[in-house]
Amino acid sequence: MMVPLLDLKAQYRSIREECLAVTEEIYESQYFILGPRVEELEAGIARYCDSPYALGVSSGTDALLLALMAGGIGPGHRVITTPYTFFATAGSISRVGALPVFVDIEPDTFNISPDLIRKCIEDMPEAQRKTVKAVMPVHLYGQCADMDPIGDLAREYNLMVIEDAAQAIGSEYKGRRAGAMGDVGCFSFFPSKNLGGFGDGGVVTAHSGQLYEEMKILRVHGGHPKYYHRKIGGNFRLDALQAAIVSIKLKYLDDWTAARQENAGNYRRLFKEAGLEEIVKCPVEKENRHIYNQFVISVERDRDELRQFLTENNIGNEIYYPVPLHLQECFAYLNYRKGDFPVSEHAATHTLALPVYPELADQQLEYVVEQIRNFYFKR
Ligand SMILES: *Cc1c(COP(=O)(O)O)cnc(C)c1O
């Protein structure tokens, strides 16, 4: 049996006619960038994310960049974030000229630890503490970070909160939606995200009209009015085609999320029935709505051998992420060392993402668990 990690063709088959119709309409209109299609999506996303403002942008990475730029964050500033995330999180901080400051994660959710953020800030010399301007929690795999204590810290130390919600559209923390808790929420429409386009794209949500207006201007090179530049922005525009496709998919997102959650529930039950509970730890859900962009298990032993075994048996899998960011070559100048963030380092060597996409058939999911059982008990 073949079980890919993600099967976008299955999803496309269910929305093909709608996508082709809207694509043709856009070709006929020859209106490709921003415009009514993008505005329609922005309104839809703002509603969906319970946020007063949403702005379509060119990618999730650019969403992060734009948020930092609008916050006035740059050289001489520090931004606290997690080392256990996709590269863009810390990459964007560096690209505006600020320094990423890493803080380790919680072992059960893989999200940044608020207690360790506090410790990090309190241990800094005062001059350094004053340069900390923002905190960028990541809602990893589709589950929100522990936002209440992060919000308390942000108020106490006057920090901007930029949610990296690229993997977490529709995710909730104590009833509040991802992207509606911080100053800015950054989302990605990369095809493998729960709400993916047919190419690159993203959106930022904003809590204040002021930040929203600032980002809107920076999205078009900082020109306001056009050709008059008080600030230097970039080309962070979203295509009409991407916006139209994402708007179509948004209608089905809750159904797809429910299917992912059902798959996650089935994995939990089957791992238990297979007697694998001691060896395979399933994702822990806190007081959150987890949307399972990834279903990531943590295994007691032999992760790499398991991975190879699954691959040989045609089961898609991936390691998110094999190298924590503090150990990346490009961040050597930050002077972190191996051992600095033991929880992240442990996660990098013990976790594995399994297929959880909405169209995954029950027999496929059962096959995945059966093969993992074979690996641990029958070799
Ligand atoms: C995907 C992702 C991004 C970047 O989004 P792109 O649209 O690929 O630029 C940023 N942060 C996290 C956590 C992501 O998963």
Residue 1 lies in a domain: no
Q: Tell me, what CATH number does 29's domain have?
A: 3.40.640.10
Last residue of a domain, one of 219, 250, 281: 250
Q: Are residues 329 and 217 in the same domain?
A: no
**378 pLDDT more than 90:** no
Q: Which of 178, 183, 213 lies closest to 193 in space, CA to CA?
A: 178
The alpha carbon of 167 and the centre of ligand 1 are apart by a number of angstroms equal to 7
Q: Report pTM.
A: 0.98
Within this chain, do residues 234 and 313 fall inside the same structural domain, yes or no?
no
Question: What single string gives the DSSP state of each residue in 231-250?
Answer: S---B-PPBHHHHHHHHHHH
pLDDT tier at 4 (50, 70, 90 boundaries)?
very high
Atom of ligand 1 nearest to the CA of 200: 7
**Span 93-103, mean pLDDT?**
98
262 and 230, same domain (yes or no): no
Total domains present in the chain: 2
**What does the pLDDT read at residue 317?**
98
Strand pairing class (99-102; 78-81): parallel
Query: Ligand 1 pocket by C-beta < 6 Å: which residues?
Result: 59-61, 85-86, 88-89, 138, 164, 166-167, 188, 190, 200, 202
From the alpha carbon of 293, which atom of ligand 1 is closest?
15
Is there a single domain that holds both residue 344 and residue 264? yes
Q: Are residues 54 and 170 in the same domain?
A: yes
29-59: per-residue pLDDT in tens? 999 999 999 999 999 999 999 999 999 999 9
| Position 379 confidence tier, pLDDT thresholds 50, 70, 90 | confident
Looking at residues 138-156, what average pLDDT do you find? 98
CATH code at 368? 3.90.1150.10
Query: For 150-182, how does the pLDDT look when each residue is reduced to its tens digit (9 = 90+)?
Result: 999 999 999 999 999 999 999 999 999 999 999
Same domain, 152 and 176: yes
> Do 95 and 230 lie in a common domain?
yes
Beta strands in the chain (DSSP E): 53-57, 78-81, 99-102, 132-136, 160-164, 172-173, 176-177, 184-188, 202-206, 280-281, 288-289, 295-299, 351-354
Which residue segment(s) compose the domain that 357 sits in?
Answer: 253-377
Pocket test for ligand 1, best of 89, 198, 239 (most atoms within 8 A of CB): 89
Phi-psi region of 233 (alpha: psi -120 to 50; beta: other; left: phi over 0): beta
Residue 204's contacts (CB-CB under 8 Å, 6 or more residues apart) are 54, 55, 57, 63, 66, 67, 184, 185, 186, 187, 215
| Per-residue pLDDT tens over the stretch 213-253 | 999 999 999 999 999 999 999 999 999 999 999 999 999 99
d(CA 366, CA 363): 5
- Calculate how far, in angstroms, residue 156's C-alpha sits from the geometric centre of ligand 1: 29
Please check whether residues 362 and 312 belong to one and the same domain: yes
> In angstroms, what CA-CA distances link 334 with 68, 91, 134, 326, 340?
19, 13, 18, 8, 12
Are residues 104 and 179 both part of a single domain?
yes
Query: Does the residue 309 lie in any domain?
Result: yes
CA of residue 324 to ligand 1 center, whole Å = 15
219, 231 in Cβ contact below 8 A?
no
Whether residue 219 is found in the same domain as residue 261: no
DSSP classification of residue 106: P
> Do 61 and 146 belong together in one domain?
yes
Domain end marker among 188, 215, 250: 250
